[in-house]
Amino acid sequence: MKDRIMKKLLWISTILIISSSVAVRAQEKKQNPTKESILAQGEEKNVLNKKFRWGISWNQYWSTISGSQNPSFSAPNLEKDASGQLVLIPAGSTGQPKVYTPKSFFWKPSIGFNLRAEYYPLSFLGIGVGIGMQQRGTGIINPDKTGGSFSNPWVVGLNGKQGDADSTYRERLRFNTIEIPVTLLLQTPKEVIKGMKLSAAAGIVFVNSDYINDVFLSVEDGFHKETDVTKSYNLNDVGLQFSFGPEVKAGNTILQVHLVYSKGTSNVYKKGADSIFKNGNEDGKHETFGFRIAWLF
């Protein structure tokens, strides 16, 4: 009987000793992590390896409207004469109509900002979405009739006012838009150099124009002539967007600098009785290029 009790006590003691040893060993591992575990923790805490990041971006683009025909934006009364020629009929004028001629465009600076979020389910592949406000549009080149390529305050124009009021590079068409980009993201799994990865994005951007102004800049007195032309343009568009650039570790944040290009897919010119475009041949699409600087957390 005593032998059986002794054997049971021996087995119980052995089990308790083994269990205690395992527990102590596990505790020691927690208190004294291995080199591999330390490196793994460091990788997990590297902000460049975060699966989810969000932040804000500042966009500096240059924009224009490209297409087969660039119409005039300062012609509210367009009609066809007896020969079918599209002409401009000045309101309340009994004089000869002026022949309608297309205008030339140039790239103008357009700024904006976005709230952005990115998620990487894989180390190299992710998805990005955003929402923000962006300016688009184009610059308009007008014929210079009074002399001088730019504004010359000493020139008296044909309108009798001092300053070269019809000089080139002073008229702007400004689209103020709300945009939602949705893009597929690619990223180098490892840092190309210490503290930096490369990333790229391709996708679509939904564009809704809140309002559209034709602005003629007056550098003489600072009072710019603005005309609301919202009714003459289609307000919704879907653009293709591509970007590429580095992502730099900046403390606990990511500084992302991307070159960006986008091209619209819809005609911006609206046809109809309430539009200034009655020729029917106008065709233009938004086009932008520039860079985006984002701070992601």
Give the pLDDT confidence score for residue 254 in this predicted structure.
96
* pTM tops 0.85: no
With CA atoms as reference, report the closest residue to 175 among 265, 246, 100, 108. 108
Q: How far apart are CA 282 and CA 86, in angstroms?
A: 12
Q: What is the 3-state secondary structure (H, E, C) of 174-230?
A: EEEEEEEEEEEEEECCCCCECCEEEEEEEEEEEEEEEEEEEEECCCCCCCCEEEECH
- Cβ(47)–Cβ(246) below 8 Å: no
**Where exactly are the structural domains of the chain?**
47-296
Neighbouring C-beta atoms of residue 240, cutoff 10 Å: 13
Tell me which fold the domain 47-296 belongs to. Answer: Porin (2.40.160)
With CA atoms as reference, report the closest residue to 236 among 208, 264, 204. 208
Give the pLDDT confidence score for residue 39 in this predicted structure.
52
With CA atoms as reference, report the closest residue to 46 among 246, 256, 251, 255. 251
Give the pLDDT confidence score for residue 282 in this predicted structure.
76
With CA atoms as reference, report the closest residue to 159 among 76, 220, 229, 79. 220
Residues of the chain below pLDDT 70: 1-44, 68-102, 143-168, 219-222, 272-274, 276, 278-281
Supply 195's token pair.
Answer: 């503290």
Give the pLDDT confidence score for residue 295 in this predicted structure.
95
Supply 222's token pair.
Answer: 């600072």
